[in-house]
Amino acid sequence: MAESTYDLVVIGGGPGGYVAAIRAAQLGMKVACAEKRGSLGGTCLNVGCIPSKALLQSSHHYATARHELAAHGVKAQVELDLAAMMARKNKVVADLTKGVEFLFKKNKVDYLVGAATILAPGRVQVTGNDGKAREHACTNILIATGSDVAGLPGIAIDEEAIVSSTGALALKAVPQTMAVIGGGVIGLELGSVWSRLGAKVTVIEYMDAILPGMDSEVSKTMQRILKKQGIDFHLSSKVTAAEKTGSGVRLSFEPVKGGEAKALEAEIVLLAVGRRPYTDGLGLENVGVAMTDRGFVKVDEHYRTSVDGIYAIGDVIGGLMLAHKAEEEGIAAVERIAGQAGHVNYEAIPGVVYTWPEVAAAGRTEEQLKKDGIAYKAGKFPFTANSRARCNADTDGFVKILADAASDRILGVHIVGPEAGDLIQELVVAMEFGASAEDVARSSHGHPGLAEAIKEAALGVAGRAIHI
C-alpha cells in the first residue's frame, strides 16, 4: 500500500534532482525527493564540485603565499596544516548540504531518506537506512541518479594507494609522488591541489592532448603552464598494469600506438578516466526504460524516457557531466511536466576547469568549426596586455572569441586566465541573446578590469583591438 501520493517523485538529490524538486514545488506540485547518500547535494556537493573547489582555493592560497607574495613585497613564513585545510573543506560541504535540506523544508519538498526502486510507472519504493521499505504513489517520476567513478580493467581502486577523486579529496598526508591516470578535468584539478601542496605529480593521458575535446590552443597552453608549475605529462600513453609495492604503486604504461613500455613508481595513484551513468538498484529493467549502448538512460528532447510518466535528467542521461547542465535540465523537465516550455540551450553551457589559471569555454572550438565547414573570424587577446592582470601579476593565458564570418554572431569562446570561470559568464549571456562580437566590443567594460581582455578579443574579431 502506498504510504503517500505525490505529483512527482524525484530520485536522486544531486544538483539535477534537488533543483528540479524545488522548481516543481514552486510550480505547485506535491513533490518528494529520494536520496540514499544520507545527505543532499549529490556528487557535486558531497564528493565533487564543492570539496574540490574548497581544496583548490586553500591550496592556491598556500602556493601563492609560498611562491608569489615576495614579489609583492610581502614576506611571510608559510606552514601547511593539512588537517585544518581538510576540516575547513568538510565544513563547507556540511554547511551547503544542510542548506539544501533547509531549502527543501522552505519549499515543502518531502525528503525521503533511502534508496529508491521503481516498481512500476507511478510506484516508487524507498528503503530507508532502518531497512524498512515504504511505497509511494505518484503521477510522475524523475530519474536524477547521476554518475559514479569509471574504472579501468586491472586497476583496483582501494581509496588508499589507488584512489578515485573521492579518495584524493581526503588524503591524510601530502604524498611525495602522485601519478594521475587521465589528463581530464579531475586529473588536472586534483593533480593541481596535490602538486601545490608539495607532491611531484605526473599525468598519464591516453589522448595526444590534455583536456581532450577543448580547443587545442587551450589544451596546449594549459599543458605548458602546468608543466611550468611542476606537473609532468606523458601523452598518447596507456596504463597497462598497477602493482602495489611496499611504498606505493608501480604503474606500467606504454605508447598507445605501440612501443617501449615504461614504469612509474608513485606513492598515490589517482584514477580519473571519466564517470559512468549510475542506475544500480533503480529497477529500470522492471519497467522497461530504454538505455543507450553505454548505459545512459535514453530520453527525448523533453527528457521523457521510453516509459510514460518517467523522465530523466543530469549525468545519468549523458552529454556534459556538469552540475549546472543537470540543474538546467531538471528545471526544463519539470516545467515541461507542468505544461510550460522549459528548454536548455546546449550551445551556451560553460565548462570551467578550476586550475590556476582557470580554463573556461562555451560553444564551439576552432577544430569543430573547421570540421563543420563554418567560416569564422577569431579575435584573441593575451592577459599579458591587460593592465589589471599586470597589477595582479596574473598574466598567463588569453581570451579567444570565434564569430561567424558573415553574421558576426558569437559561436565559441575560450579563455585561459585568472578568474576565467567567472569572466566567461558575460559571453555566455551574450551567446544566449544571440549577440555579435561587435555587441560585446561596444559594451563599456570597467577599467582596469580583467574583463577588458574580453572586450579587446571582441574588438580583435574585427581586427581593431586597441591595446595590442
- Ramachandran angles phi, psi of 380, nearest 5°: -135, 140
What is the footprint of ligand FAD within residues 329-388 (CB under 6 A)?
354
Binding ligand NAD by CB under 6 A: which of 133, 198, 206, 236?
206
Binding-residue total with ligand FAD (CB under 6 A): 37
Give the ranges where 13-48 is alpha helix by DSSP (H).
15-26, 42-47
Query: Least distance in Å: CB of 85 to ligand FAD?
Result: 16
Of 353 and 441, nearer to ligand FAD (C-beta) is 353
Which stretch in 13-21, 69-77, 227-235, 301-309 sits in contact with ligand FAD by CB under 6 A? 13-21
Query: Least distance in Å: CB of 239 to ligand NAD?
Result: 5
Binding of residue 440 to ligand NAD (CB under 6 A) = no
CB atoms within 10 A of CB 384: 13
- Closest listed residue to residue 142, CA positions, set 342, 348, 320: 342
The interface partner of residue 11, options being ligand NAD, ligand FAD, none and the CB cut-off 5 to 8 Å by kind, is: ligand FAD
Name the β-bridge partners of 277.
147
Give the ranges where 321-451 is alpha helix by DSSP (H).
323-337, 366-371, 387-392, 420-432, 437-441
Give the ranges where 68-153 is alpha helix by DSSP (H).
82-107
Query: Least distance in Å: CB of 222 to ligand NAD?
Result: 12
CB atoms within 10 A of CB 182: 23
The interface partner of residue 187, options being ligand FAD, ligand NAD, none and the CB cut-off 5 to 8 Å by kind, is: ligand NAD
Residues in the chain: 468
The interface partner of residue 460, options being ligand NAD, ligand FAD, none and the CB cut-off 5 to 8 Å by kind, is: none
Taking the CA atoms of the chain, what radius of gyration do you get in angstroms? 24
* β strands within 341-454, DSSP E: 351-353, 358-363, 376-382, 398-404, 410-417
Binding of residue 151 to ligand NAD (CB under 6 A) = no
**Residues near 19 by beta carbon (within 8 Å), at least 6 away in sequence:** 326, 327, 330, 331
Of 5 and 240, nearer to ligand NAD (C-beta) is 240
Binding of residue 152 to ligand NAD (CB under 6 A) = yes
Spot the catalytic one: 61, 67, 447, 467.
447
Binding-residue total with ligand NAD (CB under 6 A): 25
Q: Are 365 and 386 in contact (CB under 8 A)?
A: no
Q: Are 415 and 423 in contact (CB under 8 A)?
A: yes
CA separation for the pair 14, 291 (Å, rounded): 21
Which stretch in 278-286, 295-303, 394-402, 407-415 sits in contact with ligand FAD by CB under 6 A? 278-286
What is the footprint of ligand NAD within residues 287-346 (CB under 6 A)?
321-322
CB atoms within 10 A of CB 38: 10
Binding ligand FAD by CB under 6 A: which of 165, 219, 237, 305?
165
Query: Least distance in Å: CB of 392 to ligand FAD?
Result: 23
Binding of residue 194 to ligand NAD (CB under 6 A) = no
- Closest listed residue to residue 344, CA positions, set 323, 330, 362: 330
Site string for ligand NAD, 233-272 (x = CB under 6 A): -----xx--------------------------------x
Binding of residue 322 to ligand FAD (CB under 6 A) = yes
- Mark whether 302 is an active-site residue: no
The interface partner of residue 353, options being ligand FAD, ligand NAD, none and the CB cut-off 5 to 8 Å by kind, is: ligand NAD
Helix, strand, coil shares of the chain, percent, nearest 5, are 35, 25, 40
The interface partner of residue 414, options being ligand FAD, ligand NAD, none and the CB cut-off 5 to 8 Å by kind, is: none
- Of all residues in this chain, which one has the CB nearest to ligand NAD in the complex? 184
**Residue appearing with cell numbers 561596444:** 442
Conformation bin of residue 370: beta by default, left when phi > 0, alpha when psi is -120 to 50: alpha
Binding of residue 12 to ligand NAD (CB under 6 A) = no
Alpha-carbon distance values, 188 to 179, 222, 459 (Å) = 11, 10, 32
Reduce the DSSP state of residue 181 to 3 states and report it: strand
Binding ligand FAD by CB under 6 A: which of 2, 4, 27, 37?
37
Of 36 and 275, nearer to ligand NAD (C-beta) is 275
Of 44 and 401, nearer to ligand FAD (C-beta) is 44
- Closest listed residue to residue 448, CA positions, set 467, 462, 420, 424: 467
Of 42 and 342, nearer to ligand FAD (C-beta) is 42
Binding of residue 17 to ligand FAD (CB under 6 A) = yes
Judged by the rule CB under 6 A, the positions of this chain that interact with ligand FAD are: 11-17, 34-37, 42-44, 48-49, 52-53, 115-116, 144-147, 165, 186, 278, 281-282, 314-315, 321-324, 326, 354
Judged by the rule CB under 6 A, the positions of this chain that interact with ligand NAD are: 152, 181-187, 189, 204-207, 212, 238-239, 272-275, 321-322, 352-354
Active site residues: 447
